Chains A and B, each alone.
Chain A
Amino acid sequence: MSEKNKYQNRRDFVKKMGTLAVALPIGFLGYKLVQQTSAQEFVWQIDPNLCTQCGQCETNCVLTVSAVKCMHAYEMCGYCDLCSGYLRQGVKELNTGAELQLCPTSAIKRNFIENPYFSYTIDEELCNGCGKCVKGCAAFGNGSLYLQIKHELCVNCNLCAIAQTCPADAIQRVPSSQPYLLKSGYKAKES
């Protein structure tokens, strides 16, 4: 009986040593990392100054409909009749005909304001984040259209799938207290 007890005690001892051997590194790891933690949570944003409008924002998001939408910095817009983000290159007429539009889903709406200004607004339900309008606006216009990740759609993956493949490394983590990287001159009311 005492043999068995001794055996049992030995086993218990080994077990306790094992528990300690396992708990210590975990504890040490925790301690080391706590120094490197922040209470901040992070969300993903595209830096509009780095974006090259490659078109992968539409296809690489894990969601079927990408969380990246085109946003319009109205204060930067020139309100031009010949909008290079709305109309295709080389078209002769300036109206809302489907044959003239750059946007494949017709998500940009053109409205007459006063002579010679037209406003361009984006219907986010229709926008799929392909960036064609952004490319046109950046090349020939003021660059007031830009792609950005919308937080009501983004599921905030641990590693953004688009960030993984972005050729310009434009997608970065930003603290959730300042969750939007907007183009300057932009008035926004946060909800």
Chain B
Amino acid sequence: MKKKILYILLMLFIGWQSISYGQQRFPKPEFESGYDYPEYQLTNPSSPIWEYIDVAVLIIVLILTTRFTLKTRSRKSILFVAAFSLAYFGFFREGCICSIGSIQNIALALFNDGYTIPLSVLLFFLIPILFTIGYGRQFCAGACPLGAIQELTAIYPVKLPKTIETILSTVPYIYLALSILFAATDSHFIICKYDPYVGIFRLNGPSTIMIFGILLLISGVFINRPYCRFLCPYGVILGWVSRFSGKHLSITPDNCTNCRLCETSCPYEAIIPADFLEVKEPMLKSRKKFMLYLILLPIITLGAAYFSLQFADNLALVNQKVRLANELRIEKEMGVKAISMDAVTFKESGSTLEQLYEEETQIIKRFEKGTPWAGGFLGLSLGIALLLTTINRKRDSYKPDQGKCYSCGRCFEYCPIHVEKLNIK
């Protein structure tokens, strides 16, 4: 205790106007042997210039891919560009930041004033979309590292039964709606959390994601591009935009002769055949169905919005604060002790339960505002999809489905006109 009294007196001299959390217990030592404090080496994070180099590389890769898909029409070249993207954006830059994840940053920035989005992230979001407006899903073909790794390992294509495919292809819409909702309420970045291939790119990652990624990769050998078709939320946006793109990859370089040789070429079922083989629905029935679905559209949209509002409370549980408030409430009312790290730290911090409940209420209100939009969006997509089935267009040639086609160029070699042209060249 005597030593302590000495220190206390020393503190009185040295300066006991303590800052932040208290005085230093043991005073600064006075070294007589000439000991110098060691100089600490700190490494800076990678220079921000790299982000802009990434944007530049992205633009270059997109230009190259567009050239290869639309002009030179060479699948080999597309694959080489894809391999380069995989090596650069995937393994070298370790898959972050990617265009798919940028959706979350956009959502966070739009609805939270405190967050400034870095310019490079915004560009990563916009540039692929701009290219898609012009030329179709070039991003998916050659620039996206996830698309590249799937394309390069898609070796033995297997056809999926139609029911499963339709059911699974609703998942990207739900994924998109939920990721925007969670990012906008500042609760979670689920695209990043459940990105299966980032573990492979980093050669490191939480075990669940690594196992999921490897399994997905192996299944991708057979069910080609599983992430692109059944998970990718960015693909939903690119798909809509690509439907109205100015130019798009075409199967034949010239006019289509309806030779039907490309029918089995696309593992992604993205080729829309000409309609001469189709058993068409009678026009009247189509028109009737069209009117029906048109009337149903707002009903489905609003119904889905209302239905999803019921889940707002549960969805809010994704937020850390809401979970904590819930845990403490359960402890208070039912006596189940709150043992999580969050609860223990909260109790020691001295902030009141009332404050926490207030914050929780605010967050739940935000969820209640946002969830109907998410549900409404899903309802709208369903309604539009139904509506589209009633529109009969005259199709006199084989064309790729502009929403679904990844511009991978697999179908080129099946088209005799393309082969002929190349041989001549």
Contact = CB atoms under 8 A, between A and B. Distances in A.
Interface of A: 7, 11, 15, 18-19, 21-23, 26, 29-30, 32-34, 36-43, 49, 52, 54, 56, 62-64, 71-72, 74-76, 78-80, 113-114, 117, 119, 121, 140-143, 150-152, 154-159, 161, 164-165, 167-168, 176, 179-180, 186-191
Interface of B: 20-21, 24-29, 31-33, 35, 37-46, 48, 51, 94, 96-97, 101, 104-106, 109-110, 115-120, 122, 126, 129-130, 133, 188-189, 192-193, 202, 204-206, 209, 240-241, 243-246, 320, 340-342, 344-346, 348-349, 393-394
A56 B341 contact: yes
B54 to A, nearest CB: 11
A114 B204 contact: no
B41 A189 contact: yes
Nearest to A15: B244
A183 to B, nearest CB: 10
The 9 closest A-B pairs by CB, nearest first: A78-B26, A18-B244, A167-B345, A151-B45, A159-B189, A152-B43, A19-B244, A41-B48, A114-B33
Contact of A179 (B44, B116, B189): B44
B125 to A, nearest CB: 8
Contacts of A79: 29
A159 B188 contact: yes
Contact of A168 (B193, B244, B345): B345
A180 B104 CA distance: 25
Contacts of B342: 165, 167
9 contacts: A18-B243, A33-B122, A38-B116, A40-B48, A62-B202, A117-B31, A161-B193, A167-B342, A189-B39
A41 B240 CA distance: 31
Contact of A62 (B109, B115, B204): B204
B109 A36 contact: yes
Contact of A114 (B32, B106, B129): B32
B364 to A, nearest CB: 19
A62 B241 contact: no
B188 A164 contact: yes
Contacts, number: 176
Contacts of A21: 244
A155 B126 CA distance: 24
Contacts of A151: 43-46
B40 A186 contact: yes
A167 B356 CA distance: 13
A179 B42 CA distance: 10
Nearest to B112: A36
Contacts of A43: 45
Contact of B45 (A7, A54, A141, A154): A154
Contacts of A63: 202, 204-205
A142 B341 contact: no
A40 B97 CA distance: 14
Given A26-B130, A74-B38, 14 more contacts: A26-B241, A36-B115, A39-B119, A42-B118, A62-B202, A62-B205, A72-B40, A74-B37, A155-B96, A158-B101, A159-B104, A159-B193, A165-B320, A190-B44
A37 B122 contact: yes
Contacts of A23: 133
A179 to B, nearest CB: 5
A142 B45 contact: no
Contacts of B27: 78
B24 A176 contact: no
A157 B45 CA distance: 13
A33 B109 contact: yes
B199 to A, nearest CB: 8
B205 A52 contact: no
B24 A142 contact: yes
Contacts of A29: 106, 110
B20 A49 contact: yes
Given A29-B106, A157-B192, A7 B94 contact: no
A61 B37 CA distance: 31
